[in-house]
Amino acid sequence: MKLLDGAKVSKKIYADIAKKVSMMKIKPFLAVILVGNDPASQLYVSIKERKCLDVGIGIQIFNLQFSIYNQFSIYNFQNKIINLIKKLNNDKKVTGIIVQLPLPKGLDTNKIIETIDPKKDVDGLHPKNIGKLLIGDKNAIAPPTAEGILELLKHYKITLTAKHIVMVGYGKLVGKPLANMVVVANSDATLTICNKSTKNLSYYTRQADILISATGVPHLIKKNMIKKNAIVIDAGTSTVGGKILGDVDFERVENKTSYITPPRGGVGPMTVAMLLSNLVNLKD
């Protein structure tokens, strides 16, 4: 078993970003909109802030307190977010914008994301950027987690060619973009897409040469659900009793794999690194 060490790989990416930023006359600047007090979202934003400062990228966090009493107040609050995004779209200092997801219930995530200028959409979630990804546009902005997973595999010289890739979870941040990127890569890979409710899920996961799970269901993937020497990537997180858990029951699964991401320091660091990589490339 060998760990897919995202923390180690991301350090090299950050070093490249810092070098590139140091040579820019106008430095990249990231605007982050954080809505509410979700502890996980606050943690992720603080990590992004620290990494931006480490590599010389400017950042401003807009923390909007979410206090909704009725449908009318939801409408007004959503407009407040949209108006802020429009202001940031027109701010020449701001080169990238992200809205930290998930948003509180009641807000229209799609409408809010669609307000972001596609040229400033470092999360790659605007319909125009998703469309570019679908058609294989080399300049498409890819969602950072999906991009980070492929970059991690590339670093460890794990090819997709002729592999059977089974993905569990088909969300907009990981599953959907990653599936599209695998198809567009034209790698002759076989792709199977499942979800947490798939009947006889283990039947499919045991066929995987590369198993990628992103459901947010703690320890969904058990030892008996993978074949020997499979490559296992855990892109799911959930909070149980104040502890962050992944989709994969790592301690029981690890010795059956050839490569596996660790519970911490796997996909997470790659996500932030690729986000900042997107930002710097937007600046180009």
List pLDDT tens digits, range 116-150: 999 999 999 999 999 999 888 888 899 999 999 99
Compute φ and ψ for 46, nearest 5 degrees. -65, -35
pLDDT, mean over the chain: 93
Q: Are the CB atoms for 65 and 81 separated by under 8 Å?
A: no
What ranges do the domains of the chain cover? Answer: 25-117, 144-267
| Rounded distance between C-alpha atoms, residue 67 and residue 46, angstroms | 22
**Residues 97-115 pLDDT 10s:** 999 999 998 899 999 999 9
Q: Which two tokens stand for residue 117?
A: 């200028």
Residue holding tokens 């180690």? 8
Q: Are the CB atoms for 29 and 58 separated by under 8 Å?
A: yes
Annotated catalytic residues are: 48, 100, 123
Q: Which two tokens stand for residue 125?
A: 């979630």
Nearest to 44 by CA among 195, 244, 223, 229: 244
Compute φ and ψ for 206, nearest 5 degrees. -70, -10
- Crossing angle (nearest 10°) for helices 267-283 and 6-22: 20
| Rounded distance between C-alpha atoms, residue 76 and residue 213, angstroms | 37
Nearest to 177 by CA among 155, 197, 153, 193: 193
Decide whether 25-117 matches 144-267 in CATH topology. yes
Q: CA dist 265 to 131, 217, 253, Å?
A: 31, 19, 17
CATH match of 144-267 with 3.40.50.720: yes
CATH number (3.40.980.10, 3.30.70.1710, 3.40.50.720, 3.40.50.10860) of 25-117 reads 3.40.50.10860
Nearest to 36 by CA among 103, 116, 109: 103
Q: Which two tokens stand for residue 77?
A: 């609050």
| Rounded distance between C-alpha atoms, residue 263 and residue 235, angstroms | 9
Nearest to 231 by CA among 253, 249, 264: 253
Show pLDDT as tens, one digit a residue, over the chain (284 residues): 899 999 999 999 999 999 999 999 999 999 999 998 888 889 899 999 999 999 999 999 999 987 766 666 888 899 999 999 999 999 999 999 999 999 998 899 999 999 999 999 999 999 999 999 988 888 889 999 999 999 999 999 999 999 999 999 999 889 999 998 988 876 789 999 999 999 999 999 999 999 999 999 999 999 999 999 999 999 998 877 778 889 999 999 999 999 999 988 999 999 999 999 999 988 54
- What percentage of the chain reaches a pLDDT higher than 90? 79
| Rounded distance between C-alpha atoms, residue 282 and residue 94, angstroms | 11
In this prediction, residue 72 carries a pLDDT of 62
